[in-house]
A and B are shown apart, each in its own frame.
Chain A
Amino acid sequence: MGKEMRIVLRNADKIDPNSIDDYIKAGGYRALEKALGMERKALIEEVKKANLRGRGGAGFNAGMKWSFVPPAEVTYVVCNLDEGEPGTYKDRTIVQKDPHTLLEGMAICGHAINSQKGYIYCRGEYPYVVEHLNRAIDQARRKGVLGNFDIEVRMGGGAYVCGEETALIESIEGHRGEPRFKPPFPGVAGLWAEPTVVNNVETFANLPEILNRGSEWFKAIGAASYPGTKVLTLTGDVVNRVAIEVPTDTTIRQVIYEFGGGIRNGKKFKAVQIGGTSGGFIPESLLDTPIDFDSMRGIGATLGTGAVLVMDETRDIVDIVTRIAKFFEHESCGKCNPCREGTFRNFEIMTKINRGMAAVQDVEKMSLLCKVMQKACLCGLGQAAPGPIVTTLQHFRHEYERKLLA
């Protein structure tokens, strides 16, 4: 089995996640202390230099995002723990195994943007994680380690779209979780119209070690354009269905065969979908691609959340993509027309193909619709929804053709 490199999960299974003392003994909250001793600008510069890019899927330089926040009396730090992307359980794993690394990361960001209040938006399906976090926050408050920064947990309600940062903000404000038009970006006008930084759990969890060891150390790990590690969650027809943390220059093949132990039941590999349910399907011929953001984009796929869904030779690609199309039809919030109608029609056409009742013209119509959605949808949900259809038509077209009417 390949060797992991653990930054985010450095304390996992080594300390008692319910004990702040354990975390402190393992060197916890020292990075925050260091950060508090730094000028805000210098702190942001250090994070920017590390080139820590957003681990939620968008891959934006975190320090750069922070630098957009103008001087203001009230600013907010928001942590995205909505984790609704199917096949993903990394943020839950990080928080369950080491909640204080998240709290410390958020407080570091709090100092950088002069914020006194952080929110963790945790999905409604994780009530046990909410309890776990509240316990950790209580401990941190009593120890006084967070200084004048306070953190509150808010629960989502099972809406996938709330993983989109402006929809998430709408939800914290107590509204329907429909994305906003951008600009203005949250960095300028976010939660309650105040400057707000929204980052994913894994992004925040990287910060303590970046501060402890320095941006040069971090920058040297993994792929040059997307340095550091990535937590991946393996699911599907792979032997080891586990969460792993690996440098970003690890290849997909290494992930599946060295860390995942290969395909279950001695079967052959057919496809892997990476990044969650909107991710591209990747065939055998592209398995030597490194998992970093830009390499994945280079093959028309995504790194996304780091979900790795492995499918063996017996899997019916068209059936799986039909199921995925149903997911998007269900999760589209309905605010913009291209997504609301597009996800509906895609599911309709995929169902028709899957039942053997479609002709080649249907596939052509769907391809055109996918192009329109990728360009015209308001938010990332709609823009990414066609990904599985487009990439399977590209790499597994024969599976569609087999089901088409002559």
Chain B
Amino acid sequence: MANYKDIIGAFRDKPGGIIEAYHALQKEFNYIPKPAIAEAAKVFGVSEAQAYGVATFYSYLSTEPRGKYIIRVCESAPCHIAGADQVVKAIEKELGIKTGETTADGKFTFELTECIGQCQETPVITINSVPYVGITPDDIPAVLDKCR
């Protein structure tokens, strides 16, 4: 696993690159570890509070450890009217966790999200940012099985 200092260092010369560095960290660790925020503050010349403020402003970034597979369900209006609630229930049942939680084996984290721009076939879920469109509650076991 890459060192967080090296990951951040790669963006040192990019003006405003702290968010790019956070994306790279999240790609590696699935979240932004606390020591990495302190390091980013140092590298980009801002206070730790500011670096933390940036990391927590954006809903796509997480400062809490998450599972290997991050499942997100879109709950914006087009997905809402297409039955996103039922998909949420099916995922909660299948994984045995509520939204915002991670399974005990560290494999799955379940989150809600706003629109992810795939509204041509709703409802939509993403697994590690890859969209799956037109999902029904019945599809959930098979879709999640692919990750098991």
B19 touches A155 (CB 8 A): yes
Q: Which of B113, B116, B120, B122 contacts A243 (CB 8 A)?
A: B120
Does A309 sit at the interface, judged by CB under 8 A?
yes
Please encode chain B, from 8 to 36, with 1 for each CB lying within 8 Å of some chain A CB and 0 for all others: 00000001111110110000000000000
B47 to chain A, nearest CB (A): 12
Contact A331:B114 (CB < 8 A) given known A124-B60, A174-B16, A241-B120? yes
Contact A174:B18 (CB < 8 A) given known A124-B60, A125-B117, A157-B57? yes
A233 touches B119 (CB 8 A): yes
Q: Which of A88, A125, A333 contacts B119 (CB 8 A)?
A: A88
Does A273 sit at the interface, judged by CB under 8 A?
yes
B26 to chain A, nearest CB (A): 9
CA of A241 to CA of B113, assembled, Å: 21
Does B44 sit at the interface, judged by CB under 8 A?
yes
A86 touches B77 (CB 8 A): yes
Contact A172:B114 (CB < 8 A) given known A156-B58, A235-B78, A320-B77? no
A89 touches B117 (CB 8 A): yes
The 3 closest A-B CB pairs, nearest first, are A157-B58, A158-B60, A174-B16
Please encode chain B, from 113 to 136, with 1 for each CB lying within 8 Å of some chain A CB and 0 for all others: 111111111100010011000000
Binding site for B on A (CB under 8 A): 83-89, 92, 123-128, 154-160, 171-177, 192, 233-237, 241-243, 273, 277, 307, 309, 311, 315, 320, 323-324, 327, 330-331, 333
B15 touches A273 (CB 8 A): no
B58 touches A175 (CB 8 A): no
A132 to chain B, nearest CB (A): 14
A277 contact set on B, CB distance < 8 A:
76-77, 115
Does B143 sit at the interface, judged by CB under 8 A?
no
A235 touches B122 (CB 8 A): yes
Q: Tally of A-B residue pairs with Cβ under 8 A?
A: 129
CA of A340 to CA of B22, assembled, Å: 26
- Residue on B nearest A127 in the bound complex, by CB: B129
B113 contact set on A, CB distance < 8 A:
125, 158
CA of A155 to CA of B19, assembled, Å: 8
A236 contact set on B, CB distance < 8 A:
78, 81-82, 122
B76 touches A86 (CB 8 A): yes
Please encode chain B, from 91 to 116, with 1 for each CB lying within 8 Å of some chain A CB and 0 for all others: 00000000000000000000001111
Q: List 27 A-B contacts (CB under 8 A).
A: A84-B114, A85-B115, A86-B77, A88-B117, A92-B117, A125-B126, A154-B20, A155-B19, A157-B19, A157-B57, A157-B60, A158-B59, A173-B15, A174-B16, A174-B19, A174-B54, A175-B54, A236-B81, A241-B122, A242-B120, A277-B76, A320-B80, A320-B81, A323-B80, A327-B114, A330-B59, A333-B57
B94 to chain A, nearest CB (A): 23
Binding site for A on B (CB under 8 A): 15-20, 22-23, 44, 50, 53-54, 57-61, 75-78, 80-82, 113-122, 126, 129-130
A89 touches B19 (CB 8 A): no
- Residue on B nearest A173 in the bound complex, by CB: B16
Q: Which of A86, A159, A192, A324 contacts B57 (CB 8 A)?
A: A159
CA of A171 to CA of B20, assembled, Å: 10
B2 to chain A, nearest CB (A): 18
Q: Which of B44, B59, B75, B120 contacts A323 (CB 8 A)?
A: B75
B57 touches A309 (CB 8 A): no
Q: Which of A88, A155, A158, A315 contacts B81 (CB 8 A)?
A: A315
CA of A92 to CA of B22, assembled, Å: 23
B116 touches A125 (CB 8 A): yes
CA of A331 to CA of B77, assembled, Å: 14
CA of A156 to CA of B126, assembled, Å: 17
A160 contact set on B, CB distance < 8 A:
114
CA of A309 to CA of B129, assembled, Å: 24
A154 contact set on B, CB distance < 8 A:
16, 19-20
Contact A324:B77 (CB < 8 A) given known A84-B115, A159-B58? yes
A176 contact set on B, CB distance < 8 A:
53-54, 57
A196 to chain B, nearest CB (A): 13
A233 contact set on B, CB distance < 8 A:
119-120
A140 to chain B, nearest CB (A): 20
CA of A172 to CA of B54, assembled, Å: 12
B120 touches A235 (CB 8 A): yes
B59 contact set on A, CB distance < 8 A:
157-159, 330
A307 contact set on B, CB distance < 8 A:
119
Q: Which of A87, A157, A333 contacts B78 (CB 8 A)?
A: A87
CA of A237 to CA of B122, assembled, Å: 10
